[in-house]
A and B are shown apart, each in its own frame.
Chain A
């Protein structure tokens, strides 16, 4: 006996697909470079905002979106591997992948903020560190990309495996929000609201603005290694 139940709240689904788009555009514009380098930076900031949102939503979103409900403790993973896990949200292994994806995406935008391309683009915080440090972080940004890409590949492959082999469509619930599940497991998503969504979205926006534009002058001037006084005009 199965019933249809709401698993993923709307903000979570919007986050997921917006992240797919923003990362996709960031990759493409980053590969082209030239005039698109600035767009690469903008999409990176959108990714940063989305990650902030997800972080906040992990505390104030609906039950299945909260970190506390799916953080893969060793006990949960062991139970899952022995077939003893029951639930409708992220399973413990899936949760591990979710956290790894979020963490790596965070590393990617974090290093990007301080990166430079030695052409005509630099991240909004590149001026706060010395050039060699920025260069190192740029290298890390380029290398970590491959790890992130591999992880995204694994994520997609796992979903294909679920659809083809386990006959379990994970994509549809991420689109519609609902899943067909056994009645005894049917715990619907609750706890989200428009108000909470607004709080998380605004807080994420303010955080991104603070990092890119809103740091107090007093602080950035003290840290900005590139700040200098212009010489004469000849």
Chain B
């Protein structure tokens, strides 16, 4: 009786752990990538907009290049068919519209790359007003995709 219970528990735990697979990997990696981008955006916002007295060019350049590098890392590869359902670090919020409207999906992805590259470039100039303006454009690119292809919690 006791061993049966133990077996049930082991099988249960094993099947819970067995969610790792190509789909779950893609979801988990992209969730990680966008979280990392979020951390770098928060640093830029803090130094450029909320507390400009703390502006540190090197740190903002580092954050902007990290965002650009992530954007250029081929994130599209993490949006394989079927990844609108599944659990990475948590359940994905990708809408299935992402796969029904591939052109719009591509535009959303390209907008992120374009604005992220422009931000990395402008960060090098150290001109705070230009960085601020470009950071706003990057935010609009993020929002464009969130509004269209991400479910609300």
Contact = CB atoms under 8 A, between A and B. Distances in A.
Contact of B139 (A35, A132, A135, A143): A35
A118 B45 CA distance: 13
A35 B44 CA distance: 13
Interface centre among A117, A118, A132, A138 (most CB of B within 10 A): A118
B88 to A, nearest CB: 15
B42 A33 contact: no
B136 A35 contact: yes
A33 B153 contact: no
B139 A138 contact: no
Given A119-B146, A120-B42, A138 B140 contact: no
Interface in A114-170: 117-121, 132, 135-136, 138-139, 142-143
Contacts of A33: 139-140, 143
Contacts of B140: 32-34
B139 A38 contact: no
A37 B139 contact: yes
Contacts of A138: 152-153
A120 B41 CA distance: 6
A119 B143 contact: yes
A37 B45 CA distance: 12
B137 interface: yes
B146 A117 contact: yes
B69 interface: no
Interface string B74-85: 000000000000
Contacts of A143: 152
Contact of B38 (A36, A119, A132, A142): A119
A57 to B, nearest CB: 34
A140 to B, nearest CB: 8
Contact of A120 (B34, B139, B146, B153): B139
Overall SS of chain B's interface: helix
Contacts of A136: 153
A121 B38 CA distance: 10
Given A33-B140, A35-B139, A38-B49, A118 B146 contact: yes
B50 to A, nearest CB: 9
A143 B44 CA distance: 30
B153 A34 contact: no
Given A120-B42, A138-B153, A35 B132 contact: yes
B112 to A, nearest CB: 11
A30 B32 CA distance: 26
A176 B112 CA distance: 50
Nearest to A138: B153
B40 to A, nearest CB: 10
A16 to B, nearest CB: 30
Interface centre among B38, B140, B142, B153 (most CB of A within 10 A): B153
A214 to B, nearest CB: 18
B133 interface: yes
Given A35-B132, A35-B136, A119 B152 contact: no
Contacts of A135: 153
Interface of B: 34, 38, 41-42, 44-45, 49, 132-133, 135-140, 142-143, 146, 152-153
